[in-house]
Amino acid sequence: MARAPGGRHRERRHGLRPSGRAQRPEDPGRVRIGEPDRPTHARQRAGRAARRRAELAPRVRRREYYVEDGGTQVKHFGESIAVRYRQLLGENVELSPEGYPADYVKDLAAQIKQRDGDRYRSLSLEEQGKIFAKIGIDWVVEDAQRVMAKLGIRFDEWFRQSSFIESGYFQKTIDDLRRMGRLVDRDGAVWFDAPEMPEDKEGWVVIRSNGDPLYLGTDIAYHRLCLFERGFDKKIDVWGANTHYHLVQMKVALAAFDIDERRWEVVLYQYVRFLNEGVIQRMGKRTGQFLLLEDVLDAVGVDATRFFLLQRSADAPLDFDLELAVQQSNDNPVYYVQYAHARIASIFRTAAERGLTVDGADVSALTSPAELDLVRLCLRFPELVAEVLEHKGVHLFTSYALELAGAFHSFYRDNRVVDEGDVPRSKARLRLVQAVQVALRQTLGLLGVSAPEKM
């Protein structure tokens, strides 16, 4: 593979350090995600986690996967496994309306029965549910760790909600809020008192009437724990777009602890819709219908998965066409970009065979509109990196890669790069396409997508 003149120096000018990593400001933070009661599904986990890794990588020193394993949904999850376990033992029991009908719950129950037999038969449904919830959560977390690694996403820590509930920190937060006069008891439940929002008196429950913590209460405790006791300088959360009101609630709640709002940031993402042969793949937590992320990875590969998921801004809905993602055509955006990089590598192999290099290239010979358009796009790359770091719009990388690849393909269609009859022009054009290759390689690298030499 041909190297850009100046080697690492050239890559630094494109916004990268010699190591090839994007430069980042000294702004430490953490990322959190949750939902540990089902396998790693594609609609949300891929849409947030895959996009999250490339988007926040320049700013986040540590990534934390927040495992929400202490709420009511986890209780329903464990009891659903218990019902399926009892059915396998021959008992005539049915799922509750809050239960999980998905096949993976049946699979978990079957694994427990195969391993432990009827060991838990004498326990009540509630007792079984507590045991099976822990087993199920461990299984789901292990699945998430494996699939995230397959996708190329690394988390430094997998932090469990249950840890600060069991340690008493959640109760400490509740007690402190009560002393501050920010909690009221109503209808047997504990509510956060929000005089800042007098028009809204609903949806502020922190502890249910049955004593179970609700997500508003646990989120208040978790963020307080991170920003005080755990010493986070800044915390970045990645949530689904349907949590906008919860964001408003959390701002009010954290203000009660005098937490500087600049230390906490939330990125809201729209969900991802997957299409297969033009048909939307419907998914639902309670119906048990899922398109697993691992199935997407196996079907279209890591490169296509990452590139497709990173094509839209956080606030824009994303349609992932599974059929398009496997096509080897210019209609497939990741193929289109990767093919541009591979085509340039082929140009340099041809040049090497003919004894042509970029040494002594005079780029002043680049005067045509197509050549100058490529020069302009290459020079734009450092500014693009700075813009992404500032505004977290990683989709700008995919847009840039497509624009640069398109400009190169058009240039290549109409112009010869290696022409032994015009060595000066050939050297100048080799220098030009070398810069294009560097920009494409670095852009794909920032997206976590490979830059093949041959296709």
Alpha carbons 203 and 137: distance in angstroms, whole number: 27
The secondary structure of the chain in percent helix, strand, coil, rounded to multiples of 5, reads 55, 10, 35
DSSP classification of residue 327: -
Q: Which two tokens stand for residue 398?
A: 């995919």
Residue 290: its pLDDT value, please?
A: 74
Per-residue exposure over 342-368, b if at least 16 CB sit within 10 Å of its own CB, e if not: bbbbebbeebeeeebebeebeeebbee
DSSP classification of residue 3: P
Mean pLDDT of 425-454: 97
Mean pLDDT of 50-72: 71
Q: Which residue matches tokens 């770091």?
A: 389
The answer, yes or no, to whether residue 349 has pLDDT greater than 80, is: yes
Question: Nearest CA to 162 among 153, 154, 150, 170?
Answer: 170
Residues 280-317 have pLDDT tens digits of: 887 766 566 678 899 999 999 999 999 999 999 988 99
- SS3 assignment, position 239: strand
Alpha carbons 375 and 63: distance in angstroms, whole number: 37
Residues 206-253 have pLDDT tens digits of: 999 999 999 999 999 999 999 999 989 999 998 988 888 999 999 999
Residue 315: its pLDDT value, please?
A: 87
- The mean pLDDT of the chain is 87
Q: What share of the chain has pLDDT > 90, as a percent?
A: 71
| Helix-helix angle 103-116:125-151, to 10 degrees | 110
Residue 11 CB partners (closer than 8 Å, separation 6+): 4, 18, 20, 438, 442
Length of the chain: 455
Q: What confidence tier does 58 reach under pLDDT thresholds 50, 70, 90? A: low
Alpha carbons 143 and 443: distance in angstroms, whole number: 30
Q: Judge contact between 260 and 55, C-beta under 8 A.
A: no
CATH code given to domain 8-20+330-447: 1.10.730.10
Q: What share of the chain has pLDDT > 70, as a percent?
A: 84
The answer, yes or no, to whether residue 260 has pLDDT greater than 80, is: yes
Residues 83-127 have pLDDT tens digits of: 999 999 999 999 999 999 989 999 999 999 999 999 999 999 999
Question: Nearest CA to 275 among 240, 310, 324?
Answer: 324
- SS3 assignment, position 208: coil
Beta pairing class for 279-280 and 64-67: unpaired
Q: Judge contact between 81 and 108, C-beta under 8 A.
A: yes
Q: What angle do CA 148, 244, 174 make, to 5 degrees?
A: 90
Question: Nearest CA to 409 among 357, 336, 308, 323?
Answer: 336
Q: What confidence tier does 408 reach under pLDDT thresholds 50, 70, 90? A: very high
Task: Please give the helix or strand (H or E) that residue 324 lies within, else none.
Answer: helix 322-325
Q: What confidence tier does 196 reach under pLDDT thresholds 50, 70, 90? A: confident
Alpha carbons 76 and 351: distance in angstroms, whole number: 65
pTM over 0.85: no
Residue 50: count of CB within 10 angstroms of its CB: 28
> Which residue would you say has higher pLDDT here, 314 or 51?
314
Give CB contacts under 8 A, 24+ apart, made by 407-413: 407/370, 407/373, 407/374, 407/377, 408/340, 408/343, 408/344, 408/374, 408/433, 408/436, 408/440, 409/330, 409/336, 409/340, 409/343, 410/370, 411/370, 411/371, 411/373, 411/374, 412/343
Residue 242: its pLDDT value, please?
A: 87
Residue type, 147: V
Residues 145-182 have pLDDT tens digits of: 999 999 999 899 999 999 999 999 999 999 999 999 99
Alpha carbons 105 and 85: distance in angstroms, whole number: 9
Residue 284: its pLDDT value, please?
A: 66
Residue 26: its pLDDT value, please?
A: 36
Alpha carbons 81 and 93: distance in angstroms, whole number: 12
Each domain of the chain, given as residue ranges in start order, spans 8-20+330-447, 31-72+142-324
H helix runs in 121-243, sequence order: 125-151, 161-166, 169-179, 215-224
Residue 3: its pLDDT value, please?
A: 30
Distances (CA, A) of 89 to 42, 77, 109, 131: 33, 19, 10, 17
31-72+142-324, CATH topology level: Rossmann fold (3.40.50)
Residue 443: its pLDDT value, please?
A: 97
Q: What confidence tier does 392 reach under pLDDT thresholds 50, 70, 90? A: low
Residue 281: its pLDDT value, please?
A: 80
The answer, yes or no, to whether residue 10 has pLDDT greater than 70, is: no
